[in-house]
Amino acid sequence: MELFLIRHPEPAVPEGTCYGRSDIGLAEDAGVAAARLRTLLPEGIPVYSSPLFRCRSVAEHLVPEPAIDERLVEMHFGEWEMRRWDEIEKSAFDAWVADILNFAPPGGESAAAMLARTLAFLDELRTSEAPAAAVVTHGGVLRVLFAHWLEVPPRRWPRLTFEFGGVSKVILGHKDLRVEYLNRK
């Protein structure tokens, strides 16, 4: 299956803010972003999206009725949501950095939980036998997927960057994966 993984365009949020699962707007018009993305996607491709506005609004401009799936939502940062990263208690932030895969912010979820739900979505998508699909999602989702697929240890996850409004393409087999490109705009 050809899988086109799209990170939503830049959100309308002050730089340095932990926004995770918060439902915020976009700094760019969703229609303009979708028009640019459409040129990178096969015609008639099914589109799946996170339910959050920053993804859903773009997906709705790509196709009239995208499939919305909760499993594609960004990581829930709990009490850290909409706080500046530099305002988060240092001991809690350090605990997260020390175990980024398993630590869950207070009231939030761990990256391991986010990965499990996202892999469940992809397993279901693979059984659909569709030759291709586009997925509009979030940077955190993309980071844990590629880290899992490429066996990148958690301490190196910050090196995995996905551009706002960028498309990454993988060929997803039943037991293998090939990365075609990353961050195409």
Chain segment 18-58, per-residue pLDDT in tens: 999 999 999 999 999 999 999 999 999 999 999 999 999 99
- Alpha helices by DSSP H, listed for the chain, are 30-38, 53-62, 90-98, 111-126, 139-150
Rounded to whole angstroms, the Cα distance separating 3 from 180 reads: 10
- Read off the pTM: 0.96
Domain ranges in the chain? 2-184
Considering the segment(s) 2-184 as one domain, its CATH architecture is 3-Layer(aba) Sandwich (3.40)
61-88 residues labelled b (16+ CB within 10 A) or e (exposed): bbbeebebbebbbbbbbeebbeeeeeeb
Q: Is 91 a residue whose pLDDT tops 90?
A: yes
53 is written with which tokens? 């506005």
